Amino acid sequence: MHHTQSSIVVALDFPTQDAALEIARQLDPTRCRVKVGKELFTREGPAVVRALHALGFEVFLDLKFHDIPNTVARALDAAADLGVWMVNVHATGGRTMLEAAAERLAKRGTSRPLLIGVTLLTSLHDADLPELGWAPDAGRQVVRLAALVADCGLDGVVCSARDLTNLQARVGDRLLYVTPGIRPSDAPPDDQARTATPAEAWAAGAHHLVIGRPITKAADPAAAVEGVLRTLR
């Protein structure tokens, strides 16, 4: 079984730096990492990443880059300059974009951030896919994109925990598996369509569990982290 230490990534999905740091200060950076997403980064910029680093946290910069290859490669350079732990791109950007992203970060050697590809958003149902030109089979689409990500030299994928069994069978241990949509059994699904409990995701082979509101809205966020870690043990 993979190590539980820092397997939890707390999603700081807040509109302001002050709100994000208020929660971060209640957490232990040796017990979890944190994620900065689009809203927070767009409003506060690199300053929020630096503030989280100053508190001792490793940061997953969740901006899901998806653009022409050169633009994505340069954006990843900028993210790496911030010293973040992990960054991501949309796998649907295609092979040329994915290879350009991996090659640009590889030039940084061992100091580079992890690079992961987003397969399919966990808010999407099978029924949503035909409008995008895909067969109504989310699991098959995820496997196809994950195989492309692995072939292009990225470190891992973002995927639903429900896809992990198929991914383990088709892609195996070539990738890190980062799973959002994690909800303890007593938590509501909110806007996620394909959710799993922490224990289900861990047993299926997840390496990093991205958890937001069940921790950040808890009366004691640090205790909520410890509760999840107990279920993983």
* DSSP string for residues in 98-157: HHHHHHHHHTTGGGSPEEEEE-S-TT--GGGGGGGTS-S-HHHHHHHHHHHHHHTT-SEE
- Residues 82 and 105: their CA atoms lie apart, in Å, by 13
Q: Which residues pair with 179 in a beta bridge?
A: 209
Verify whether residue 64 is a known catalytic residue.
yes
- Residues 48 and 60: their CA atoms lie apart, in Å, by 12
Cβ atoms of 106 and 153 within 8 Å: the answer is yes
Residues in Cβ contact with 44 at an 8 Å cutoff, skipping those fewer than 6 apart? 16, 17, 20
Q: Which two tokens stand for residue 164?
A: 């992990």
- The radius of gyration of the chain from alpha carbons, rounded to an integer in Å, stands at 17
Identified catalytic residue from 35, 38, 64, 217:
64
Q: Name the residues annotated as catalytic.
A: 64
